[in-house]
Amino acid sequence: MGQIVNKRVLGEIVGKSDTALTEWQNEDPPMPVVRRGGPGVAGEYDTEAVIDWMIDRAMRRAMRESAKDRLDRITADLRELELYRRQGLLVETAGVRRSLGRLLIELRSRLLTVSKAPEIPESARAAVDEGIRSALMEISEYEPKVLASA
Phi then psi for 77, rounded to 5 degrees?
-60, -45
Burial of 4 (0-12, 13-18, 19+ CB in 10 A): middle
**44-80, pLDDT tens digit by residue?**
999 999 999 999 999 988 888 788 888 998 999 999 9
**3-42, pLDDT tens digit by residue?**
999 999 999 999 999 999 999 999 999 999 999 988 889 9
Phi then psi for 4, rounded to 5 degrees?
-90, 120
Predicted TM-score (pTM) of this structure: 0.44
Delimit the domains of the chain by residue range.
4-63, 69-140
Q: Which CATH architecture has domain 4-63?
A: Orthogonal Bundle (1.10)
Q: 118 preceded by cis ω (within 30°)?
A: no
Bigger pLDDT: 75 vs 148: 75
Phi then psi for 48, rounded to 5 degrees?
-65, -45
Confidence at residue 150, expressed as pLDDT on a 0 to 100 scale: 45
The stretch 117-130 carries a mean pLDDT of 92
Sign of the dihedral defined by the CA atoms of residues 30, 34, 39, 42, in that order: negative
Confidence at residue 149, expressed as pLDDT on a 0 to 100 scale: 53
The stretch 124-139 carries a mean pLDDT of 92
Confidence at residue 48, expressed as pLDDT on a 0 to 100 scale: 95
